[in-house]
Structure 1
Amino acid sequence: MDSDTLLARITDYANRPNPYPLYAELRGAGPVVRQTDGSCLVGTYHEIAALLHDPRMSVAPRSRGEVTHKPPFLRLDDPEHHRLRTLAMRPFGPLHSPGRVDAMRGEIDQITKELMEPFEAGRQIDVVDDFAYPLPVTVICRLLGVPREDEPLFRAWSDALVAAADVRPEADTTETDKASDQARIEMGGYLVNLAEQRRGNPSDDMLSAFANEPDPALRLTQEELAETAVLLLIAGHETTVNLITNGVLTFLRHPEHLDHLRRDPDLLPRAVEELLRYEPPVHMRERIPRADIDVAGTTIPEGTSVVLVLASGNRDPMQFHEPDRFGPTRPDNQHLCHGAPLARIEAQAALGALIPHLGTARLVEDPPPYRQNAMLRGPRHLPIQL
């Protein structure tokens, strides 16, 4: 097959369990590979890293009809992206500060413990439905300050939002899109109302911090607050679910490393970084150049859809020694999956709690069924026998 059909083959569901041979083909075909649909794929580490930081590359999607709401900051370019991201992250405090991380980890450890209460030897569980899926929804609800009795609302809204990101390319998405838009509106309205209740009556949560920001220059509008909170749920949710589930799958496929981690839990943070490289939760990102741009001698015209295949760059032998080997102690692991500090904390807590139970567990199905989405790749179900 020709390299100009690579995107079609990568997104073909038949290749979801193992797209890595296609990524090797992509790297072999050159830094920039044009596709029959007019887009360009980039699969080599150094070119992807450069384009991710190139100010000429826009994250804003090309117009696909009428836009009914302002896009969240992930879909905005600087300086507006930087402004909204900074405002949205302020209530977290410095995520790298030990006090803030410990406080969040304590909350996440408690939620993890609650989710694991029904787990017992001899039982079959679905790592996705029983654990990885509910964890980030519960965490973001607690961080935002959502009353516990309302957490089921967020599960339902999250289901609708995630379903819209996980449809078959050839499917009619009208109903899914409608349900997603409705969930976004309902959830945004709920959060704005909750934030208003906290105005002048704050508690220790993010919505209180948003609503009671004393500096008008740093205050989010109601629309920005709603969109940002929705984004925190979606972005945090998919990344975390896939990271935890891919982690359990990888550990069970590599029992020697699982055994090592059981004996030395302090290795877990490095193991999570290696999971972000070896089986990343996000495989691709789209960018649109705002001007003609030269990449390794190839000119990509302004307005072209450029698909940066992060998961291919993470297996580039020009950057990583033995890139197809899972190595939890890999030194200087400069992979391409940046960001997601909350997902890291959740994955470390979740995998740390699960690892003692995985020594005698076995996969019921390998490969497991995967989500439709090729960009946010992860198992839809992961049944294991404890």
Structure 2
Amino acid sequence: MTSAVQQRSAAELFAQALRYENRADPYPLYEQLLQEPVVRLTDGSWLATGHREIGLLLRDPRISADRLNPQQQPIRKSLLIADPPRHDQLRQAVTRQFVPRIMGMRDHIDGLVTSLLDAHTSETPGELDVVGDLAYPLPVTIICELLGVPREDERLFGSLARRLTRGLDPVETQTEEDIHQLQQTRVELAEYLEGLIARHDADGGGDLLAGLMNDQSPDGPMDAIDLRVTLGLLLIAGHETTVNLIANGTLALLRNPGLLARLRNDPDLVTPLVEEVLRHDPPVQMSGRSTLADIDIAGTTIPKGARIRLLLAAGNRDPRRFADPGSFLPDRADNAHLGFGGGIHYCIGAALARAEAQIALTALARRLDSPRLVADPPPYRENAILRGPERLPVAFARLLPDPREQ
């Protein structure tokens, strides 16, 4: 068992990592937390930071994705926090409808990136907010198109999603006003989704919502509540992490000018580069689970009914797994990062997020002439779990036309 001193020091370090003043660089605190790969905190919860330990827990059937109370909540749960068999039923339905629709989308994503950057093309020095002008509108447009959300609703949906992501953060970081606003926003989203489903023509389109409404499985189609819960998850998860992935990737490139030049001349570099972003500066910093049985791990026992915080971003920098973990190295071999989680809850949209980030970062390298960060670090969002810049202003000498069109 961990000592009281270890519990207190780990709790203090973890609390510091959650504070906004450390949002731009929590990694020195994670490095200290890695000294004890699994530790009990003073509030009774457990913190896992080691890469091996997080991987084992993510794949352990004695772990529940419901991080609150897996056996006593009567509410309908999304596949994100559901356990088998319900998780498997929902995931299979989403996979049947989602995966075929994202195959072959690279050309469409490329076209959207081109049009978003074309709006700022200039032969004179200027400035681009990579978050507001590219990283945010790109995945929002894609997921709304996939799900059949009307273009005129994208701004409303985006506002709801941004407000809801605050609810993913640890409750100790939220004020009473935050919690009250979250409750109101959840009601707004539920009403919006119910209206969207009610007016959607299940027979008139090939979008994902129509597919889910008509999905045939041994368990039958989703009912109205499952459909709303699943739609809400896909709408929010389908873009929030990608915003951070593109922004964090841009930060890595501009902080490493040699890599920016390499990517400009060798577009194939983008594939391992995005994987290294997912390891070095992941868009999702942590996740949560709870235990269905006693689990012996790392020389200690996590008891049944315990809450576990999985600090993915710390595991991604575990020196027991990665050499020189603090350096950004796209040529890193065997990059088994935890950027998309693991086990049965591995991110269902990973392929789409990778494609969007790869295309966006390649275009930025190709078209930005002499880019530089206006502020380093940039201003960060309040969110501790979905960590990324609020804005990312980049100055440039010129924003070039797409060279492929010349």
TM-score normalised by L of structure 2? 0.86
The structure 2 residue matched to 1:169, chosen from 163, 166, 173, is 173
Query: Match of 1:184, as an amino acid?
Result: L
Q: Secondary structure at the match of 2:77?
A: coil
Equivalent runs, 1:182-261 vs 2, <5 Å = 182-195=187-200, 197-198=201-202, 201-215=203-217, 217-261=219-263
Query: Match of 1:137, as an amino acid?
Result: V
Measure how far apart 1:353 and its partner are.
1.7
- Residue 136 to residue 330, structure 1, CA distance change in 2 (3 Å): same
Query: Match of 2:351, as an amino acid?
Result: P
Tell me which residue corresponds to 1:105: 106
The structure 1 residue matched to 2:140, chosen from 123, 137, 140, is 137
The answer to whether the 8 Å contact 2:168/2:385 transfers is no
Query: Match of 1:233, as an amino acid?
Result: L
The answer to whether the 8 Å contact 2:34/2:314 transfers is yes
Measure how far apart 1:55 and its partner are.
0.8
Query: Match of 1:357, as an amino acid?
Result: R
Q: Secondary structure at the match of 2:238?
A: helix
CA distance in 2, matches of 1:237, 1:219: 25
Q: CA RMSD in A?
A: 2.3
CA distance in 1, matches of 2:185, 2:61: 31
Equivalent runs, 1:28-107 vs 2, <5 Å = 28=35, 30-63=36-69, 69-93=75-99, 101-102=103-104, 104-107=105-108
The answer to whether the 8 Å contact 1:191/1:226 transfers is no
Measure how far apart 1:146 and its partner are.
2.6
Measure how far apart 1:194 and its partner are.
4.0
Q: Secondary structure at the match of 2:84?
A: coil
Correspondence 1:353 to 2:363: yes
Tell me which residue corresponds to 1:178: 183
The answer to whether the 8 Å contact 2:165/2:383 transfers is no
CA distance in 2, matches of 1:300, 1:158: 34
The answer to whether the 8 Å contact 2:65/2:80 transfers is yes
CA distance in 2, matches of 1:314, 1:224: 34
Tell me which residue corresponds to 1:25: 32
- Residue 190 to residue 140, structure 1, CA distance change in 2 (3 Å): farther
Q: Secondary structure at the match of 2:120?
A: coil
- Residue 324 to residue 57, structure 1, CA distance change in 2 (3 Å): same
Q: Secondary structure at the match of 1:306?
A: strand
CA distance in 2, matches of 1:231, 1:204: 20
CA distance in 2, matches of 1:205, 1:189: 17
Aligned-residue sequence identity (percent) comes to 45
CA distance in 1, matches of 2:302, 2:48: 11
- Residue 282 to residue 170, structure 1, CA distance change in 2 (3 Å): closer
| Greater mean alpha carbon deviation, residues 254-263 or residues 288-297 | 288-297
Measure how far apart 1:168 and its partner are.
8.4
Tell me which residue corresponds to 1:298: 300
Tell me which residue corresponds to 1:381: 391
Measure how far apart 1:117 and its partner are.
2.4
Q: Secondary structure at the match of 1:288?
A: strand
Tell me which residue corresponds to 1:150: 153
Measure how far apart 1:250 and its partner are.
0.8
Measure how far apart 1:382 and its partner are.
1.0
Measure how far apart 1:67 and its partner are.
6.8
Correspondence 1:10 to 2:13: no
The answer to whether the 8 Å contact 1:87/1:218 transfers is no
Q: Is there any run of 5+ residues in structure 1 with no aligned partner, and where?
A: none
TM-score normalised by L of structure 1? 0.90
